[in-house]
Structure 1
Amino acid sequence: MIGKAFVAGLQRVIILPATLLAMSISTNAALAQNKLYSPIPLTTSSSEFSDTLSDKDIPTGQGGYARDYAVKLNKGDNLAVDLSSDNFDCIITLLSPNGATLAENDDGPDGSSNSLLFTRIAETGTYIIRVRSFGETGVGNFKLKVTKLQPIK
């Protein structure tokens, strides 16, 4: 005969299938990741500002760091991105809404280690402008200018 205490204990046990438990854990991990990764929003059609790349930013895996900026763009927009720094060798990358690399520039046309990028947007969405240092060239201050170019009328 099974004792009443044993039966009462069984009534409190909840059995979850392993797949449901795994989905719950992975969803919680994804939510935690989203709280950690938050690109800095750019809200105007033309932004020019100074910022600092530091060892608190995204590690690139090559000894350098990256900082991301989110910008909403429309199909047909012409975009110019100018990145300069006296502290590190700059690389600018434009990532599409699905995370694919659309364009990248390491060294500007003037032969410096600054970066200049021009592109036309093919799809409306939120894009990521990634500022990063080349290899282990480090951290430091930089200037970023993002401009939606207007056609000449």
Structure 2
Amino acid sequence: MIPATVFTVGVNVLSAAAQPASIYNPVPLDAGSEVTDVLSENDIPTGYGGFYRDYTVSFSEGDMVLMDLRSEEFDTIVTLIAPDGSTVGENDDGPDGTTNSLLFTRIVQGGDYIIRVSPYAGRGAGTFTLNVIRLQPVD
């Protein structure tokens, strides 16, 4: 007969206050704002050698919005993600013939949206300017 071996497993429980901070923290941004920021290795890895940064913006149903993303240092892509996680729209190169991005859409469901700044092909970093404009109807 083979003797039984008893193992004791210890459990280390941390309080909620001792838990590490969340690594996903989208930056709050107001519609009608412009921000100049830097995409760097401190942002979310794309998996292709680059990084992306997310901003949260609240939109109302029926809003007509324009997202203008410009950079002199990398080829930009702007993506709008709905509250349910689906992609509403994405743009790589705007109509001006540059590698800047321009996305225009109408919001069909109000809520908190994600505007994602990323480099083309998942590679690139540097300074960028993101302008979020809530368009008003002309009388």
Query: What's the TM-score once normalised by structure 2's chain length?
Result: 0.82
Larger radius of gyration: 1
Alignment of 1:1-150 (within 5 A): 35-43=22-30, 45-150=31-136
Verify the 8 A CA contact 2:51 2:123 in the aligned structure 1: no
Q: Which runs of 5+ in 2 are unaligned?
A: 1-15
Equivalent residue pairs, number: 122
1:135 deviates by 2.0
Q: What is the SS of the residue equivalent to 1:135?
A: helix
Report SS of the residue matched to 1:80: strand
Q: Give the distance between the partners of 1:105 and 1:33, measured in 2 at CA.
A: 35
Partner amino acid for 1:37? Y
The aligned residue for residue 11 of structure 1 is: none
- In structure 2, give the amino acid aligned to 1:42: L
CA shift at 1:56, angstroms? Answer: 1.1
What's the CA shift for 1:105? Answer: 0.1
Deviating beyond 4 angstroms after TM superposition, the runs of 4 or more aligned structure 1 residues are none
> Hey, what's the Cα distance between the residues in 2 that align with 1:94 and 1:151?
22
- Measure the CA separation in 1 of the matches of 2:27 and 2:122: 23
Aligned partner of residue 109 in structure 1, secondary structure: coil
Q: Is the 2:63–2:135 Cα contact (8 Å) retained in structure 1?
A: yes
Q: 2-side partners of 1:124 and 1:112: how far apart?
A: 32
**Percent same amino acid at aligned positions?**
52
Q: How much has 1:63 moved relative to structure 2? A: 1.9
Distance 1:123 1:33 in 2: 34
Superposed CA deviations along residues 79-113 of structure 1, whole A, max 9, x for unmatched, are 00000001000000000001111100000101111
